[in-house]
Structure 1
Amino acid sequence: MAVVLAGALVAAGLALLHPTVRPAEVPPSAPPTPSVEPWRLPPVSWDPLPEPDPTSPLFAAQSAAINDVVPVALTGCPAPARVREVGEWQAAVQAQWHCVHAGWRPVLVEFGLSTLEPAVHFFVGDGSDSECGHVDAPAFYCAVGTGSVHFGDGHLAQAQSWDLAVAEMVTHEYGHHLQALFGITANRLVARGGLQLERRSELQAVCWSAAMTRRNDAVTFDQAAYDGWIARLDRMREDRAHGTRASLRYWGTRGLYAETMGDCNTWVVESDAVR
């Protein structure tokens, strides 16, 4: 009996020395936050463009060296915003033009092309005098000399109602500057084709504008921006020099998906693709 009691006391002592440890209560974990998928362009299967044709009078434009260039990433450009008055609009255009040129400068250096920044001019009304003569257009690029770009105040109303108006307009005209530097404009001027060649030039600039705007890190390209872009294509000037609504929408949308500048090669397609 004494032995049993002693054993019981020893067991009790061990229990005091080593009390039973209950597992700590773990608070219930919060449900995982659902991941937000980044916005993506609507899936589209674009037909590949034809290869340049060495026998074509447009071969120089078709095979321009810029075709293999990836659209540059524009960094540090002004954030898109609606403008309120003409001074603010002009400042926004100047800043955007300077930023786009700065983005392309390394490419121009790589190809041994002029890096001089074309002068920016503004005019009132439907047209303006320039080194290319008098031009009636809302905005235009003149390739004479080192190039110049001219913006009419008719774009002010658009910039007051759409935050991407300045970016779209500037990149479009800069596209014409790239055409001049890479020999596309020179080929167009000596080839025969009349307004069809003008449409090829304009539609390529529309396409390149989309490619550049899509890669502008100041632009949050989401569904609203996409819808605004398509709406702009549906309002864009439609005539024999700029193309039909269908052509404007095709090339202006295709540019958003462009992986190289050659994905906007309007010079290789049949005439019915640039109506």
Structure 2
Amino acid sequence: MKWQGRRRSSNIEDRRGKSGSEGRGINPMLLGPLIRLLFSKTGLVIVGLFLILSFATGNNPLSLLGNFFTGGPQQTQSAAPYQGSAKENELAEFSAVILANTEDVWNGIFNNYREPTLVLFTGSVNSACGMASSATGPFYCPGDEKLYLDLSFFDDMERKLNAPGDFAQAYVIAHEVGHHIQKLMGTTDKVHALRGRLSEKEYNQYSVRLELQADFLAGVWAHHSQQMTRMMEEGDLEEALNAAFAIGDDRLQKQSTGHVVPDSFTHGTSAQRMKWFKKGFETGDLAQGDTFNANPL
């Protein structure tokens, strides 16, 4: 890909090197009830217990009480900026360029496009969808409309999944942006509303269709990006298709357990993921991406 020297997105939240479990303050809505509790008989007993504990442990009783009501000690953030390796920093710059490119494409296609934020993290991260570790892989949280990415995933793609290449990495980011498009279109909310109303097997089928549509939308991005910027070079399309193949449910299950359970699929097979990305890339037409009524997938 010819990505160097191009515009970088400003919608980047760099949390690399920071803990994902930062301390929480007291919810203002709980402040009144907590004050009433402290001055009740029960509250006096709690204070007495914390005084005994503080003398036994040598800790400040006020700190113990604060930790009790806020859910844990406050994490202090280092004043020094995070210093990533040269390779990691290059991947961070690359990700910002790809996100900017998705902004340019989708602003041209989607009316009143609301740009998402890309959060870079290491180890674990806290989002509106809850706490997640790097093992989760890249994900999009519709609750805060942010994409979350631990850059070490790109190394895992190359070493563990045999899916190297910068355009393979761009496909991953574009897929998560595809989920953002689904959120803006209302598709995500409709699918999530089915959870609990369907069996796990039935809901998994909707999840697969949601993921395949995000693959299609990534292909639509690639189609229009190439027309606008000519960033793609020979072999780039094959890199993306190889990445789609590498993260198919059937391939991952076969690789990890030695057998395949189709009813447990949540993202689609390798063949399906390749098919829908390629369809998006070849047509560039949003109307061609109705995976929910496609039969067969």
Aligning the two structures, in what range does the TM-score lie when normalised by the shorter sequence?
0.5 to 0.7
SS at match of 1:129: strand
CA distance in 2 between partners of 1:209 and 1:77 (Å)? 20
CA distance in 2 between partners of 1:188 and 1:156 (Å)? 29
Aligned to 2:153: 155
- CA drift of 1:172 comes to 0.8
Aligned to 2:186: 183
Query: Quick check: 1:131 aligned with 2:131?
Result: no
Deviations 1:64-123 (A, max 9, x none): xxxxxxxxxxxx667xxxx96111111211222123123322444x3xx463x3222122
- CA drift of 1:130 comes to 0.9
Aligned to 1:207: 216
* Superposition pairs of residues 154-173 of structure 1, within 5 angstroms: 154-157=152-155, 158=157, 161-173=164-176
Aligned to 2:89: 87
8 Å CA contact retained: 1:123, 1:152:
yes
CA distance in 1 between partners of 2:246 and 2:172 (Å)? 13
CA distance in 1 between partners of 2:179 and 2:141 (Å)? 9
Greater fraction of residues in helix: 2
* Superposition pairs of residues 27-42 of structure 1, within 5 angstroms: none
Of all paired residues, the percent bearing the same amino acid is 20
CA distance in 1 between partners of 2:210 and 2:192 (Å)? 11
8 Å CA contact retained: 2:154, 2:169:
no
Aligned pairs, how many?
187
* Superposition pairs of residues 1-275 of structure 1, within 5 angstroms: 85-108=87-110, 110=111, 113=112, 115=114, 117-125=115-123, 128-135=125-132, 137-145=136-144, 147-157=145-155, 158=157, 161-191=164-194, 192=198, 193-217=202-226, 218-219=229-230, 221=232, 224-238=235-249, 240-270=265-295, 272-273=296-297
8 Å CA contact retained: 2:205, 2:266:
yes
CA distance in 1 between partners of 2:126 and 2:210 (Å)? 21
Point out where structure 2 has 5 or more consecutive residues left out of the alignment.
Answer: 1-5, 9-84, 251-264
- CA drift of 1:175 comes to 0.5
- CA drift of 1:149 comes to 0.8
TM normalised by structure 2 equals 0.55
| Code of the aligned partner of 1:168 | Y
Point out where structure 1 has 5 or more consecutive residues left out of the alignment.
Answer: 1-75
8 Å CA contact retained: 1:77, 1:216:
no
Deviations 1:142-192 (A, max 9, x none): 1114x1110123333147940213321221111111000011111111234
Of the two structures, which has the highest relative contact order with CA contacts closer than 8 Å and spacing of 6 or more?
1
CA distance in 2 between partners of 1:203 and 1:93 (Å)? 22
CA distance in 1 between partners of 2:279 and 2:116 (Å)? 27
SS at match of 2:190: helix
8 Å CA contact retained: 1:122, 1:151:
yes
Q: Which has the larger radius of gyration?
A: 1
CA pair 168-265 structure 1, distance change in 2 beyond 3 A: same
CA distance in 1 between partners of 2:173 and 2:181 (Å)? 12
CA distance in 2 between partners of 1:84 and 1:255 (Å)? 34
TM normalised by structure 1 equals 0.59
CA distance in 1 between partners of 2:246 and 2:86 (Å)? 21
8 Å CA contact retained: 2:105, 2:224:
no
